[in-house]
Structure 1
Amino acid sequence: MVLPLVNLCAKEVVSDHSSSPGWLGCVPRELYRPLLEAAFTNCRPLAVGELVQRWPERTLRVGGRKRQGQSPPNRLCVQALLLAVVRGLSDKRCALQVLDLCGLQCEEGGVGDPMGGWSLTVALCTMVVQARAGAQRALRREGERERKRVLAMERERDVVKRERGGGEKRGFEEEEGEGGGLLVESVRREKKETSGCLREDKQVKGVRRRMEMERRKASAAVAGLAGGKVGEGEADSEADSEVVVCVRADLFVNARSWERVRAALGTADPLKLLCRYVRVEELSVSSIGSLLDLLPRHVLLGVDIRYSCLGVAGLALLLPQLSMFPMLSSLRLHYCNLDIRRDMAGQEGAMKDLSQGLGKLSQLRRLSLTALRLPGHLCMLLSSFSQPLEVLELPYLSLTHADLSYLSCSPHASSLQQLDLSENRLDESALPSVRRLLSQASSCLMQLSLSGCGLTDSLLAAMLPSLSCCRGLKSLGLALNPLSLAGLLDLVRTAVRMPSLRQLLYPNPLEDYQPGLPPMPSSAQLLDWPLDELVEVHEATSLQLDRVVMESGRSDLFLTCDLLNYNKDLVEQ
């Protein structure tokens, strides 16, 4: 890939930090973006900090969807960015008002020392809390300066009063000595009445003056901290302080970061934290409810709850709060202990409450339920939605034939763009429902995962015609299915005839495993059973698959059996 000339020049400019004082003062605002990208790409945290501190535009977006092969920003660069945002609050050259960090986080321990979701959340919340503390310190300092100025003015006024009072007294004594007694007495009475009125006027003016000073003191402190970003109309507000920069981000909250996140979300100035997607792990129902109360209503798009012991009743309590977010389009529940197979009193009533609560999420388009073990209840869960879902993920859900039959005939079938039925056992009795489901979704389905579903050669052969009709399918996952090499070759021959398909996650054929594997192994057995140690065996399989792909001329189709590193989201929509 040939980089544009401006990117090459930006790389050279940010590489030498000693030269930054020379070019920072004269670089045009149009070059700030390529310079910042070069600083991130080449890991130049000092350059990142200097550019962000004087950012010339109102909006700065860092993160978002990355191109394939593009590495995320280094941890040091992200930390330098956050520190520079706080410093920019008092820098008049900085025009930043919106910082968008959505999609910046990545998995912990990635290549190049990136910042993971939990670390980024803690760093963001620390930045917001520290900015608030700095604003309060600046406000106190400004108040102290104003108080000293008022005291100095009062002392000066008292000196003037004393000087004027002494002169007037000497003048009246001279008039009395010259025999003007009656006239002097009348003047004294008039002066006394007049001075009483003046004192009353001064008291009224004093109250007004103090109110005006308090208002100016608050607005001046925030205006000084913002470096002149707050306009005069906003500065006259009666609020103690105002938001200078809105920070949009995705948050990762667990028991260790909960207190820090709560403190940051409760802070509204000078940095306001706005959450787009929130991922919650190992929190109680009450803590999750408290977190939802702190999140802005019109910003949140998705909620991901993992490893939290909710139960059906607990989730039913949270759904009314989730319905208060009008833009919520994604709900994910992973390993949240919603098992209702046990005979427990009140479970059916809780399921009805759960169904009604889901129905109130009018904008929901993505629903992911992982390992919740809700056999036979799919109709109750999905029939309450007023609008069809576009993404449905149901791995490890112990789906029954009735569940699959309902799904194939439901309004959701013809709208599904992504479907995950992994680790739900499929047999011959379920095959008609699965084929009908694929037929209904053939015009819109783009991602499909049937990994670990127990698909044998015969079952897959019966399903391949329905799969080939999915003309928009881009990603197909079939790992951990007990296929022979002949069945795998049939799968690849079908895949190369699907022009839209870009990724295929195929299973290792049974011939590649060491001897002793059961005749009908489960997905767990295929995952744990060792592969044959002979390299020639795997090379022979790869050569046969590559030959099928080469003969078809499909250089754009990516085949892999690496389940751990497979990422279906890398396919461009």
Structure 2
Amino acid sequence: MYSFRPSSSSLFVAMVVSLVCLCAREVVSDHGLSAAWLSCVPRELYRPLLDASLSQCRPLAIGDLVQRWPERTLSIRGRSKHDHKPPNRLCVQALLLAVVRGLTDERCCLQVLDLCGLQCEDGRSEDIMGGWSLTVALCSTLLQARNVTAASRSRRDGREKKKRGMEIERQRDGAVKRDRAGLKKKEDGEKMDCGGNTAPERAIKTPAEENVKGVRRRMELQRRSGAQLQEIPSREDVLVDVRADLFVNARSWERVRSALKLSGPLRLHCRFLRVEELPASSIISLLHLLPQEELLGLDLRYSSLGVSGLALLLPHLAPFSRLSSLRLHYCNLDMQRVRPGQQEALQEVSRGLGGLKRLRRLSLTALRLPGHLRLLLSSLSEPLEALELPYLSLTSGDVAYLSRSPHASSLTELDLSENRLDESSLHSLRHLLTRAEPCLSRLSLCGCGLSDGPLGHLLPALGQCHALRSLRLALNPLSRAALVELARAAAGIGSLRLLLYPNPLEEYEPGLPPLPSSAQLLDWPLIEESEVKEVTLMQLDEILRAKGRTQDLLLTSDLMKYSTDLAMDD
């Protein structure tokens, strides 16, 4: 008998899992054979077969597997981020259709379908279903499921009604035959008693008596039939809970609202809700249809709420006991333009934020609230773990407050991009980094106007952030020499996995102002000669080699294609 050490045992298990995956891919490779192998596949192999079908885009196999899913729960969000890509549109549609068919299939045990995190918003592939398309498809599936089960129930009721009618007819015919036989027997006995000289008197029932007897018999048969039906629960009565992240805008709002109000065999649950282009009243009516114990995050984008609209909305979020993330992007909260009643409404916003007791992530993008950060954040009962404040027009007083606030020592993610950080803000920013050093893992200072001098003052504090995994400094006016110093400091942070650096000023065409803005750096053309860029890349590569970081640290200036997942990998 062989004995395995722990390392050998783990390797053996990994080999078995890999072999199962390879076999599953081969089994699902032929669309036409699923009916043959499903008849003899044990329930333990359904998951590997479904994973293979999703990765190999086998919609027919997906439909056959999900229609007779042998377990109570089916989770598609459990697919690893190391997989090649999420399931494409055709596979998701096949899965949803199979869930509907499984409602009337006695072999299906599905009760919970988890699609959270399934949608893809990066736009890299046209075949991948986005959040809006998936939300609309789910709403259509709910309506289709109700229609299918209603039709199935109608057919079943028709069959039962016909069966009960036939049984009543048989009982009635039998009773008539028994009555006739008894009457004939009685007549024969009376003839024998009377010697055949006198005709017997026959008991003749009135039509009313016959009707009463028939009604009683039918009621008794229906009672017995109903008792038999209650003993066997039907598959149509089983409720399947569908959990998903929903994306709602002005085009789909009415459809999603109707689906959430719909009663049927499928019930829609929402984990994260993303809303675009909707007024506060429509958002509130949508929130009233969501279970208060399930919503974890709300993302509001491109909705002209204004300060008054946000003040009206926030109290309706307080009942959601698990809400931990709130994102407000481009919601037209411009405090740079003075309007009557604006300050009072902002006070209401502050009180509304204070009512969100579980809030840990707050994102305020392009709201233009200079000098009001203390008012907004001081009302929170617990410190934040993630704070995103891009395009907020922060003042030096805002940065000073943030560096002294209770949030500074608990932040794991901080985004101050596109806020001009001048000399008056540097001391507060260094103090903020010092306080956040034990836990800060992601930092973004893109487009903050950091030139060579200010960045040099920040590098010592950045070098002490030993938990930092992602550092983004794109669109800052740095020279090549300053960039080299930045790369050297980044390579000394052992936990860092991604550095998004700015193109040095030497790589731009002549004509830039001495301290260009981020918009100018974004629009100004780069020098086309490859030799200029190669000088920068060569110097950065030498730093990585000297520090032994060529394999685990990515240095890039590409704003469009860098992967944020690299910052989160172990």
For residues 566 and 326 of structure 1, the distance between their equivalents in structure 2, rounded to whole angstroms, comes to 36
Letter in 2 for 1:532: I
Deviation for aligned residue 1:70: 2.7
Secondary structure (helix, strand or coil) at the match of 1:276 reads: strand
Match for residue 114 of structure 2? 100
Match for residue 374 of structure 2? 379
Deviation for aligned residue 1:560: 0.8
Match for residue 439 of structure 1 among 434, 440, 443: 434
Pair 1:54 & 2:68 matched: yes
For residues 295 and 161 of structure 2, the distance between their equivalents in structure 1, rounded to whole angstroms, comes to 43
Match for residue 6 of structure 1 among 20, 28, 35: 20
Match for residue 234 of structure 2? 223
Name the TM-score, length of structure 2 as normaliser.
0.88
For residues 261 and 118 of structure 2, the distance between their equivalents in structure 1, rounded to whole angstroms, comes to 23
Secondary structure (helix, strand or coil) at the match of 1:246 reads: strand
Residues 440-455 of structure 1: pairs in structure 2 closer than 5 A: 440-455=435-450
For residues 224 and 351 of structure 2, the distance between their equivalents in structure 1, rounded to whole angstroms, comes to 54
Match for residue 501 of structure 2 among 493, 506, 510: 506
The answer to whether the Cα contact below 8 Å between 1:373 and 1:397 also exists between their aligned partners in 2 is: yes
Measured at CA, do residues 134 and 451 of structure 1 come closer, stay the same or move farther in structure 2, by a change above 3 Å? same
For residues 127 and 310 of structure 2, the distance between their equivalents in structure 1, rounded to whole angstroms, comes to 36
Measured at CA, do residues 485 and 216 of structure 1 come closer, stay the same or move farther in structure 2, by a change above 3 Å? farther
For residues 321 and 554 of structure 2, the distance between their equivalents in structure 1, rounded to whole angstroms, comes to 39
For residues 144 and 90 of structure 1, the distance between their equivalents in structure 2, rounded to whole angstroms, comes to 16
Match for residue 228 of structure 1? none
For residues 219 and 282 of structure 1, the distance between their equivalents in structure 2, rounded to whole angstroms, comes to 51
For residues 254 and 509 of structure 1, the distance between their equivalents in structure 2, rounded to whole angstroms, comes to 40
Match for residue 481 of structure 2 among 470, 480, 486: 486
Match for residue 4 of structure 2? none
Match for residue 561 of structure 1? 557
Letter in 2 for 1:568: T
Match for residue 331 of structure 1 among 321, 326, 329: 326
Deviation for aligned residue 1:200: 10
In structure 2, the gaps of 5 or more residues are: 1-13, 195-199
Deviation for aligned residue 1:20: 2.6
Secondary structure (helix, strand or coil) at the match of 2:159 reads: helix
The answer to whether the Cα contact below 8 Å between 1:456 and 1:482 also exists between their aligned partners in 2 is: yes
Match for residue 417 of structure 1 among 404, 412, 417: 412
Residues 116-195 of structure 1: pairs in structure 2 closer than 5 A: 116-155=130-169
The answer to whether the Cα contact below 8 Å between 2:132 and 2:247 also exists between their aligned partners in 1 is: yes
Residues 398-409 of structure 1: pairs in structure 2 closer than 5 A: 398-409=393-404
Deviations 1:133-170 (A, max 9, x none): 11111222223333334444555566667777888999
Secondary structure (helix, strand or coil) at the match of 1:107 reads: coil
Pair 1:347 & 2:361 matched: no
The answer to whether the Cα contact below 8 Å between 1:454 and 1:482 also exists between their aligned partners in 2 is: yes
Letter in 1 for 2:556: T
Q: Compare 159-168 and 67-76 and name the one that shifted more.
A: 159-168
Match for residue 230 of structure 1? none
Match for residue 259 of structure 2 among 256, 261, 264: 264
Secondary structure (helix, strand or coil) at the match of 1:15 reads: coil
Measured at CA, do residues 211 and 486 of structure 1 come closer, stay the same or move farther in structure 2, by a change above 3 Å? farther
Secondary structure (helix, strand or coil) at the match of 2:358 reads: coil
Letter in 2 for 1:140: S
Deviations 1:260-296 (A, max 9, x none): 2122222343111111111111112121111111112
For residues 219 and 137 of structure 1, the distance between their equivalents in structure 2, rounded to whole angstroms, comes to 22
Deviation for aligned residue 1:69: 6.4
For residues 316 and 456 of structure 1, the distance between their equivalents in structure 2, rounded to whole angstroms, comes to 39
Aligned residues: 546
Secondary structure (helix, strand or coil) at the match of 1:367 reads: strand
Pair 1:63 & 2:77 matched: yes
Deviations 1:233-254 (A, max 9, x none): xxxxxxxx441x2111111111
Deviation for aligned residue 1:29: 2.0
Match for residue 75 of structure 1 among 89, 95, 116: 89
Letter in 1 for 2:279: S
Residues 195-274 of structure 1: pairs in structure 2 closer than 5 A: 199=212, 223-225=234-236, 241-243=237-239, 245-274=240-269
Letter in 2 for 1:304: D
Secondary structure (helix, strand or coil) at the match of 1:379 reads: helix
Q: Compare 47-56 and 462-471 and name the one that shifted more.
A: 47-56
For residues 168 and 41 of structure 1, the distance between their equivalents in structure 2, rounded to whole angstroms, comes to 74
Measured at CA, do residues 108 and 126 of structure 1 come closer, stay the same or move farther in structure 2, by a change above 3 Å? farther
The answer to whether the Cα contact below 8 Å between 2:100 and 2:148 also exists between their aligned partners in 1 is: no
Deviation for aligned residue 1:19: 3.0
Letter in 2 for 1:540: V
For residues 442 and 85 of structure 1, the distance between their equivalents in structure 2, rounded to whole angstroms, comes to 48
For residues 518 and 139 of structure 1, the distance between their equivalents in structure 2, rounded to whole angstroms, comes to 75
For residues 384 and 329 of structure 2, the distance between their equivalents in structure 1, rounded to whole angstroms, comes to 18
Match for residue 113 of structure 1? 127
Match for residue 572 of structure 1? 569
Match for residue 38 of structure 2 among 9, 24, 36: 24
Q: Compare 109-118 and 437-446 and name the one that shifted more.
A: 109-118
The answer to whether the Cα contact below 8 Å between 2:363 and 2:388 also exists between their aligned partners in 1 is: yes
Secondary structure (helix, strand or coil) at the match of 1:351 reads: helix
Q: Compare 554-563 and 33-42 and name the one that shifted more.
A: 33-42
Match for residue 365 of structure 1 among 360, 366, 386: 360
Deviation for aligned residue 1:64: 4.4
The answer to whether the Cα contact below 8 Å between 2:168 and 2:221 also exists between their aligned partners in 1 is: no
Q: Compare 159-168 and 401-410 and name the one that shifted more.
A: 159-168
Measured at CA, do residues 219 and 474 of structure 1 come closer, stay the same or move farther in structure 2, by a change above 3 Å? farther
Match for residue 430 of structure 1? 425
For residues 200 and 149 of structure 1, the distance between their equivalents in structure 2, rounded to whole angstroms, comes to 20
For residues 494 and 283 of structure 1, the distance between their equivalents in structure 2, rounded to whole angstroms, comes to 45
Match for residue 547 of structure 1 among 542, 547, 558: 542
The answer to whether the Cα contact below 8 Å between 2:443 and 2:471 also exists between their aligned partners in 1 is: yes
Measured at CA, do residues 69 and 224 of structure 1 come closer, stay the same or move farther in structure 2, by a change above 3 Å? closer
Q: Compare 274-283 and 558-567 and name the one that shifted more.
A: 558-567
Match for residue 41 of structure 1? 55
Match for residue 277 of structure 1? 272
Residues 511-530 of structure 1: pairs in structure 2 closer than 5 A: 511-530=506-525
For residues 79 and 261 of structure 1, the distance between their equivalents in structure 2, rounded to whole angstroms, comes to 18
Deviation for aligned residue 1:209: 7.2
